[in-house]
Chain A
Amino acid sequence: MSGHSTYEPKTGIERWLDTRLPIVRFAYDTALSFPTPKNLNYWWTFGGILALMLGIQLVTGIVLAMHYVPHVDYAFASVERIMRDVNYGWLIRYMHANGASMFFLAVYIHMIRNLYYGSYKAPREVLWILGCLIYLAMMATAFIGYVLPWGQMSFHGAVVITNLFGALPIIGTPITTWLWGGFAVDNPTLNRFFSLHYLLPFVIAGLVVLHIWALHVPGNNNPTGVNVKSENDTVPFHPYYTVKDGFAIAVFLLLYASFVFYNPNVLGHADNYIPANPLVTPAHIVPEWYFLPFYAILRAVPDKLGGVLLMFGAIATLFVLPWLDTSKVRSMRYRPTARLYFFIFVLAALVLGYCGGQLPDDPVIAQPSGLLLLDADINSFVWLSRIATLYFFAYFWIILPVLGLTEKPLPVPESISEPVLSHPATTPAGAVASPEKRG
């Protein structure tokens, strides 16, 4: 859809610049006139929300770096100084800490939308992989950032996560020593984490540019999953989607602000307000909420290396998803069977997140059953995690490949503009959002 430019320079300065650096033309073509499917629903507004969140994190982060001291003796105190003494430091830090959570919330919704509408399928595989890389870089950035306040959770979270690499045979110990810059998580570790935490967001920003570039080659997918056939199927990005995204952003900011101003610590852990003590581990180590599903997968496996491999395997699986899903139909609107498995998948991911925050050996309901299987009670969060982990992997590696070949999808509309208006019976209940019917 990267067709001919419709930009016409209006002033002399614009004409002069256009023949030297056509930057206004580029901005006009990508952000204003860009032809966008006319049936995008609110699930499509999270891209814009994510761009805003990245901007907020960058601005608040750069400001925090002006007051933060990356040294084990001063880090905790400098964060407290930001909270108490720096003008509006409390606001900027709470925006940054809760901004990370909002960023992940938006990215998870963005990914789930992608899974439902099959946006990762050809010709958008590279777009999807770039998105996975952004997600990976986000996880690295968020983990490293959580270490910087140098509280108890910061420190012991860093210990546990860096020790994951120690599970690798032979190279495990040299790698952890290399990551730490010593024999334990200590000042060299904090110092380099600060450096990387400043660097990685710019890597993310670079990946976002590639992500948008890869989006603008085939153009947006849409709720029907049908390719854009003609100009009748599209509207210019501005004003239609600038306004729609703007409204969604405003609503999203309300949620964000409610955390920042009314419950700024609810997503954090109280133990992180205790300065790091390498000699005492908190009784219950939990990562931030957005890592809990992966933490549950890690703990579901009774073997150290196996758990680490499975956890990274869960992320690696996302990268190959475009080649695992064999269905030619993109949108699950027309895949009722796949839709059922999809909703179970979302449930499994939520269950994993819940399990990741619980003590592994605690019973899920009432009392332990007393029945031990693979070293754990069958009525325990370990076993619930195991079942959910099994479904997580089965969904990608068995259900999606097989279902694409065996299921019978509903008839797909000819185009976005001519959905089955003449055959209302074939429009599934979920498709009422089609705006072309509402004028």
Chain B
Amino acid sequence: MADTVVGATPDPHASGDDPSRRDFIHIAAGAAAVGAAAALVWPLVDQMNPASDTLALASIEFDLGKVEPGQQVVVKWRGKPLFVRNRMPEQIAAAVKDDHADLRDPATDESRHKPGKPEWLVLIGTCTHLGCVPTVGGGDYGGWFCPCHGSHYDLSGRIRKGPAPKNLVVPDYAFLSDTKIKVG
């Protein structure tokens, strides 16, 4: 008698009401809730990134004719200052001479202007340390000097001294004509 009972019809309560199915429902429901929450988090995070109209304002054109030799003009681009500097021949020569100096962020002067246009230096005018606007002509190297924390840039916009880690950034730009550039 005992043999026929054991194993014949498993007691639904003793064996735990099919635990694997219940576990599956718990895990599936939990995973769905986590997935849904994660899918909702992303829009809430991404809304902080630049909006379409902000991105649309991202390029400008600039007439170089306004900049006399030796002068720098500052224009606003993407909310930041953009340095457009018309370098004198001796300034270019000084920058090229330093190509093999001890540079923190090595770059030749040639790599920092467009081919055949060594006089035009176009740079994003924010210090690569903490984003202040360096003043033109200052510092130990005649390029720029950042008043906030004392970074010195040379005539090619390369970092030479102070806390900044990188050279002043050269933005994407192109010559539309001999006297006109498009930035961005």
Contacts and interface: CB of A to CB of B under 8 A. Distances in A.
A264 to B, nearest CB: 27
B106 interface: no
Contact of A183 (B79, B150, B165): B79
Contacts of B49: 177-178, 181
Contacts of B131: 159-160, 162-163, 166
A207 interface: no
Given A183-B58, A281-B147, A284-B147, A192 B48 contact: yes
A304 B161 CA distance: 13
A279 B133 CA distance: 7
A178 B130 contact: no
B79 A278 contact: yes
Nearest to B133: A281
B132 A285 contact: yes
A283 B80 CA distance: 18
Interface size class of A (residues with CB under 8 A): 35 or more
A302 interface: yes
B148 A281 contact: yes
A106 interface: no
Interface string A222-265: 00000000000000000000000000000000000000000000
B74 interface: yes
A307 B163 contact: yes
B95 interface: no
A156 interface: yes
Contacts of B74: 279
B54 interface: yes
B78 interface: yes
A184 interface: yes
B132 A281 contact: yes
Interface string A168-182: 000000000111111
B80 A160 contact: no
B75 to A, nearest CB: 9
B149 interface: yes
Nearest to B80: A184
B78 A159 contact: no
A185 interface: yes
A188 interface: yes
A303 interface: yes
B81 interface: yes
A234 to B, nearest CB: 46
B165 A304 contact: yes
B133 A280 contact: yes
A89 interface: no
Contacts of A387: none
Contacts of B54: 181-183, 186, 188
A177 B54 CA distance: 12
A421 B148 CA distance: 58
A361 interface: yes
Interface string A287-325: 000000000000100111101000000000000000000
A361 B126 CA distance: 21
A188 B50 contact: yes
A42 to B, nearest CB: 40
Contacts of A163: 129-131
A143 B58 CA distance: 28
A278 B150 contact: no
Nearest to B164: A304
Contact of B79 (A164, A185, A192): A185
12 contacts: A159-B130, A160-B131, A181-B50, A182-B54, A182-B79, A183-B79, A278-B81, A279-B125, A279-B133, A281-B134, A284-B147, A304-B165
Given A156-B148, A281-B132, A375-B161, 12 more contacts: A159-B131, A159-B132, A160-B130, A164-B130, A178-B48, A183-B54, A183-B80, A184-B80, A188-B50, A302-B163, A304-B130, A360-B149
